[in-house]
Structure 1
Amino acid sequence: MQKEALEALIADLVTSLLDGTDLTLVDVEYVREKDWYLRIYIDKPGGVEIDDCQLVSEKLTTVLDEKDPIKEKYYLEVSSPGIDRPLKKDKDFTAAYGSKVDIFFFAPWEGLKDLVGILISHSDETIEIKTIIKGKEAKNPVSIDRKLIAMIRPHIDF
């Protein structure tokens, strides 16, 4: 099974397991590092607790053992995505409107490897931001092709 199809299948399984709870599925990753990992990221208002992760892990393990969609040996990890999780889905971008985000590029964009901006809007092709250069906002919004962007995540001020 293709990686994307497997992740979509697992997302459907997890979403049905979370029905009736205050937990939501944030993301599913099936990646090969040294070994294969199936990573499930969940969230809920007020934050995820270890008991939430354990509950989802146990329920999902039972379902995965029954359906057996993954043929390789893998490790299952269920966790909170963290406060600096990358923005991936439309709802992540929409929730970040008006907030500072860190943008990292595949290759330098206008001489920059990364920048901080206030996210204004997004589409499948572009994002629009007010850029912040050394603490000052640029006068005009900037539109950036998403294909140039390696990652976008919420900016954290320390």
Structure 2
Amino acid sequence: MEPTQRIGEKNGSKRHLLVDGRGVPLSIVVTGANRHDVSQLEAVLDGVMVNRPDPPQIRNKHLCADAGYTGAPALKVIEEHGYIPHVKGRGQEADELKRDPTKRARRWVVEVAHRWFNRFRKLLVRYEKLDRSFMALNHLAASIMALRKIKLDVNIIYG
């Protein structure tokens, strides 16, 4: 999780996220910015903080990912963790969208979660030197985001 260090450049960190369909973070892994997303796939899937409440035989778990996860090793890891992979490149998405306009990519859900993290000013620029401190702040932000989402859902359901 060491931040990237280059001559004349600042440290860089990358946040790898797994979110549910509403954008609530389920897993967070922070690495140096020079790491590819697929190299952290297993760590992200292993780091799920909350298990699903319903038994897996009732509902399948689907994992939507971008084209960076199209390789056979990545698909194998996704399936080993009990997910049904939905990994499509931009060209495949465009073809599918022409056939059925209601099936749009939901990648924006993860992008919104990243923007929610960036609204915590303490996380926007990494000042923490210790990895544990930075991860703790990310987990605190994820907890606040989940609590806000649950509170919003309860208000919608019960008024």
The structure whose residues are more often helix, as a share, is 2
Q: Quick check: TM above 0.5? A: no
Q: TM-score, normalised by structure 2?
A: 0.25
The answer to which structure, 1 or 2, has the higher relative contact order (CA under 8 A, 6+ apart) is 2
Q: TM-score, normalised by structure 1?
A: 0.25
